[in-house]
Amino acid sequence: MASWSRSANVRQRCRTETRVSTPSHASAARSLILLRHAKSSWATPGLADRDRPLNARGARDAVAVAAALAALPTPDRVLCSSALRTRQTLAALQAAGALQGVTVEVDDALYLASATAIERRIGAAGSGPHLLLIGHNPGIEELAQRLAGQPITMKTSSFCHFERAAADGWTFEAQATPRGVA
């Protein structure tokens, strides 16, 4: 199983408030978790990018993500890209018990979406104070950097946790990856 770590000073180091303009229809989300899908396979030549499954490491890491998410507020809602690897990451989280009774929306628009498109989608997400979004690079990494106001590397199975700082801003709480804090 992957070893997850958070440095002892991660909350202090990451506690930077960043104001990012949000649309007037922004959701009432109080916490946001941006998760990059688990590691996918390139083993099948000619397979469409959207149809790539998780590889063995990705399947293991997705289970480890579920355990790491247990320390955070349980999401009320999940937005997930329609790509197979993101849906398999979601299924692993559900199978591990991390997302029981959570509203899930699989959205084609999140497949390889830009940071701006992801941010708009978060703003339009609707009800639920705790939101989890499962997506892809480069959009998810660019949005994490924008919200945190600092460089962030979103490796596969990495997630960033943000709390609402004000109506128009987020506080970067922490980042976790299978191999330590980026």
CB 30 within 8 A of CB 164: yes
Q: Which residue has the tokens 């979601």?
A: 90
Q: Give the pLDDT score at 79.
A: 97
Q: Give the pLDDT score at 43.
A: 95
| Domains and their CATH numbers in the chain | 10-176 (3.40.50.1240)
Q: What is the pLDDT along the chain (182 residues), one digit of tens a residue?
A: 334 444 322 322 233 333 343 433 344 578 999 999 999 999 999 999 999 999 999 999 999 999 999 889 899 999 999 999 999 999 999 999 999 889 999 999 999 999 999 999 998 887 678 999 999 999 999 999 999 999 999 999 999 999 988 777 899 999 998 765 43
pTM listed for this prediction: 0.85
Q: Which residue has the tokens 């990495």?
A: 158
Between the CA of residue 47 and those of 5, 52, 64, 82, 109, what are the distances in Å? 34, 7, 27, 16, 20
Q: Give the pLDDT score at 179.
A: 67
